[in-house]
């Protein structure tokens, strides 16, 4: 018996995992907004001074906005991934814990990129962090599809979407981060565009679930 089979011997209630995760997402999204600090305005009655002050925090606002919608996107897909699963075990739980660890860490690179928006190393680290986070989300996706996929979903089509996800978010964020050494502007554009590719979940329920039970070997 390998270690994966040992983890699957211990079931874990799916609704507990979802409730815990929702709490983490809510807290992290709240913490992210705390990075938005009011700029000092020397003469608030002067419109030019107001606009200049707001322009001085544009990089902080941009990093917050991209990070906020990224976390929201992860939350949406996490909900879909868990909805597709018939159950869970300690393998599901610990993959999810690793994902929550990475989600909780996101405010740190976000704050760094907001403070040092022209640093190619910091912009790259932001992309690397988000690449690893989306990879772990895809890992959770794969694990649930392989072991707990609901009969409402086509196992072959769903596993194809899993493979597409690996080549999607994780790879694009990694490439976007590395491109910071060429141009941080290119990285910023890619960071902003990636969430648009995943606004909707990849998988749809079959109209007529035929009771087909997938086999791990078939996937």
Q: pLDDT digits over 130-169, tens only?
A: 899 999 999 999 999 988 898 888 888 888 888 888 877 8
Domain containing 30 equals 11-35+44-206
Q: Which two tokens stand for residue 181?
A: 């050494």
pLDDT at res. 138: 92
d(Cα 165, Cα 197) in Å, to the nearest integer? 11
121 lies in some domain? yes
Place of tokens 């941080």: 184
Q: How many beta carbons lie within 10 A of that of residue 39, not counting itself?
A: 13
Q: How many CB atoms lie within 10 A of CB 212?
A: 11
Please tell me the total count of domains within the chain: 1
Whether 19 is in a domain gets the answer: yes
Q: Domain for residue 5, yes or no?
A: no
* Mean of all residue pLDDT scores within the chain: 83
Per the domain annotation, does 3 fall within a domain?
A: no
Q: Is 36 exposed, middle or buried (0-12, 13-18, 19+ CB in 10 A)?
A: middle
CA distance 170 to 178: 12
The residue assigned the tokens 């690893």 is: 132
Measured CA to CA, the distance from residue 23 to residue 28 in angstroms comes to: 9
Question: In angstroms, rounded to a whole number, what is the distance separating the alpha carbons of residues 40 and 167?
Answer: 43
Q: What is the largest CA-CA distance in the chain?
A: 72
Mean pLDDT of 208-216: 48
């Amino acid at each position: 018996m390998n270690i994966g089979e040992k983890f699957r011997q211990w079931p874990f209630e799916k609704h507990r995992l979802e409730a815990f995760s929702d709490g983490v997402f809510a807290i992290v999204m709240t913490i992210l907004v705390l990075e938005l600090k009011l700029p000092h305005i020397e003469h608030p009655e002067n419109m030019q001074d107001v606009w200049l002050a707001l322009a001085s925090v544009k990089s902080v606002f941009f990093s917050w906005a991209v990070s906020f919608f990224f976390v929201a996107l992860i939350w949406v897909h996490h909900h879909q991934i868990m909805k597709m699963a018939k159950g869970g075990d300690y393998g599901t739980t610990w993959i999810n814990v690793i994902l929550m660890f990475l989600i909780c860490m996101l405010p740190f690179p976000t704050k760094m990129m907001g403070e040092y928006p022209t640093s190619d190393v910091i912009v790259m680290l932001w992309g690397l962090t988000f690449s690893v986070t989306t990879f772990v989300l895809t890992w959770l996706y794969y694990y649930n599809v392989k072991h707990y996929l609901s009969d409402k979903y086509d196992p072959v089509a769903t596993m194809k979407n899993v493979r597409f996800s690996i080549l999607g978010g994780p790879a694009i964020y990694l490439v976007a981060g590395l491109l910071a050494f060429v141009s941080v502007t290119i990285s910023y554009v890619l960071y902003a565009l990636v969430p648009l590719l995943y606004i909707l979940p990849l998988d749809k329920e079959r109209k007529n679930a035929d009771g087909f039970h997938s086999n791990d070997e078939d996937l």
